[in-house]
């Protein structure tokens, strides 16, 4: 009851507050942005979620968390982040990590280049900065895998440097506050937002200002479905709320549709429960990870039997392992798998692994998750 009363009260308050902006003298965009600072900071003080990297914002933790949080939800990141900090507690440990172990730690988070760039940067930081992340926005920007958003986040959250950190969350919040119909996927719109925020951000609270905007974007001004304006400290200033146009703002140009790729997955198994795997090339999609041998295109059992026999395999039997689908950013794999029971051992050039090694040793992308489960007897 009290919570509802509070919300109703807040809504009335927001309505009243709008009186300060008269119809004859609407705020300019910069005035409107300047006006968000006060309510944003008090809201953040009261509502910021307690997160492992927030509660202890040293540069290394902020860096790793920001990289993990790219394209990945907070709840999904938390367990990865905590494990990562245990295994690689500092920049030096990360720089010296075995790449395969690092990729195994990243398994399931996707976008594996993020992990490889983290390690490349860690090596640079050890060699050129004595193992400590540089505190300047410009120096951070030079490191592999660090763009304007991440450099801004690390500089402001860990070092208190007054630079903005504009990601998709922040672009959504700002374009909604201003009811801007500019395409937020355009680099020029991101640049303009960064320039504008840099001018109005309060220098004594840069971390709270940036994280407050990110937080509102994550839990109030949400991307899918109606924003939760009754909880928003910026509601009285928000032009999108005033015009009730949240379903058309932000504007995002349509992405080109994903390419669909049919793949036939070969689960080559021996009597001794060994399974064939191979390492993917060290560039391109899922670079340096392991996979089950697979073919582009759709093959049926008879075709596979002929093809593999012609390559020298001695097959006992083939049975279906079912279909699976995996969505990457630019491509979708539509997979059809087969369990292929072999007479002898796993033939070269494949590597031979048992199910427990698939789970603990080799980094295998999530795309093959359904087949790993099947081989483990879980489905």
CB of 218 to ligand ADE, least distance (A): 5
| C-beta closer to ligand ADE: residue 69 or 125 | 69
Helices (H) and strands (E) in the chain, counts: 17, 7
Q: Which positions from 44 through 73 interact with ligand ADE, judged by CB under 6 A?
A: 51, 66, 69
> Concatenated DSSP letters for 106-137?
HTTT--THHHHHHHHHHHHHHHHHTTS----H
- Name the phi and psi angles at 164, rounded to 5: -75, 165
The verdict on 166 binding ligand ADE (CB under 6 A) reads: no
CA 49 distance to own-chain centroid: 19
- Name the phi and psi angles at 287, rounded to 5: -55, 140
| C-beta closer to ligand ADE: residue 218 or 232 | 218
CB of 65 to ligand ADE, least distance (A): 6
| C-beta closer to ligand ADE: residue 69 or 304 | 69
Place of tokens 């991101």: 190
3-state class percentages of the chain: helix first, strand second, coil last, to nearest 5: 50, 15, 35
CB of 158 to ligand ADE, least distance (A): 11
For residue 55, what are its two tokens?
């509660």
The catalytic residues are 66
> Concatenated DSSP letters for 179-210?
T--SBTTSHHHHHHHHHHHHHHS-GGGHHHHH
- Contact with ligand ADE (CB under 6 A) among 27, 41, 74, 76: 74
CA dist 87 and 35 (Å) reads: 44
Question: At 95, which helix (H) or strand (E)?
Answer: helix 91-95
Q: CA triplet 80, 286, 89: central angle to 5 degrees?
A: 30
Place of tokens 């080109």: 256
Q: Which positions from 179 through 238 interact with ligand ADE, judged by CB under 6 A?
A: 211, 214, 218
Question: What number of chain residues touch ligand ADE (CB under 6 A)?
Answer: 7
- Contacts of residues 324-327 at CB distance under 8 Å and 24 or more positions apart, as own/partner, are 324/265, 324/367, 324/368, 324/369, 324/370, 324/371, 326/365, 326/366, 326/367, 327/258
CA dist 29 and 34 (Å) reads: 9
CB of 241 to ligand ADE, least distance (A): 23
For residue 337, give the nearest of 373, 311, 362, 363 by alpha carbon. 373
For residue 37, give the nearest of 201, 170, 196, 176 by alpha carbon. 201
Binding site for ligand ADE (CB under 6 A): 51, 66, 69, 74, 211, 214, 218
């Amino acid at each position: 009851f009290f919570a509802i009363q509070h919300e109703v009260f807040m809504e009335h308050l927001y309505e009243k507050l709008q009186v300060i902006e008269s119809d004859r003298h609407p705020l300019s965009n910069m005035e409107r942005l300047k006006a968000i600072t006060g309510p944003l900071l008090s809201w953040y003080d009261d509502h910021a979620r307690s997160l492992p990297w927030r509660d202890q914002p040293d540069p290394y933790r902020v860096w790793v968390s920001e990289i993990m949080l790219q394209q990945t939800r907070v709840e999904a990141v938390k367990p990865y982040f905590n494990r990562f900090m245990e295994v690689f507690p500092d920049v030096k440990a990360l720089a010296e990590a075995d790449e395969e172990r690092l990729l195994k730690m990243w398994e399931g988070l996707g976008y594996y280049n993020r992990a490889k760039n983290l390690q490349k940067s860690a090596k640079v930081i050890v060699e050129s900065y004595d193992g400590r992340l540089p505190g300047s926005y410009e120096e951070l920007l030079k490191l592999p895998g660090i763009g304007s958003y991440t450099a801004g986040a690390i500089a402001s959250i860990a070092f208190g440097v007054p630079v903005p950190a504009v990601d998709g969350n922040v672009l959504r919040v700002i374009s909604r506050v201003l009811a801007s119909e500019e395409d937020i996927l355009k680099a020029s719109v991101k640049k303009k937002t960064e320039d504008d925020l840099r001018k109005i951000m309060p220098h004594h609270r840069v971390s709270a200002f940036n994280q407050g905007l990110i937080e509102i974007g994550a839990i109030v001004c949400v991307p899918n479905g109606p924003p939760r304006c009754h909880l928003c400290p910026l509601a009285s200033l928000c032009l999108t709320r005033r015009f009730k146009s949240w379903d058309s703002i932000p504007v995002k140009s349509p992405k080109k549709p994903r390419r669909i790729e049919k793949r036939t997955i070969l689960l080559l198994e021996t009597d001794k429960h060994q399974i064939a795997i191979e390492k993917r090339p060290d560039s391109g999609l899922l670079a340096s990870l392991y996979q089950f041998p697979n073919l582009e295109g759709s093959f049926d059992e008879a075709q596979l039997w002929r093809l593999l026999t012609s390559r020298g395999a001695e097959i006992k039997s083939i049975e279906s392992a079912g279909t699976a689908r995996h969505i990457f950013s630019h491509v979708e794999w539509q997979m059809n798998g087969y369990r292929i029971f072999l007479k002898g051992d796993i033939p070269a050039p494949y590597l031979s692994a048992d199910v427990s090694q698939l789970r603990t040793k080799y980094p295998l992308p999530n795309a093959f998750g359904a087949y790993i489960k099947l081989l483990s007897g879980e489905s």
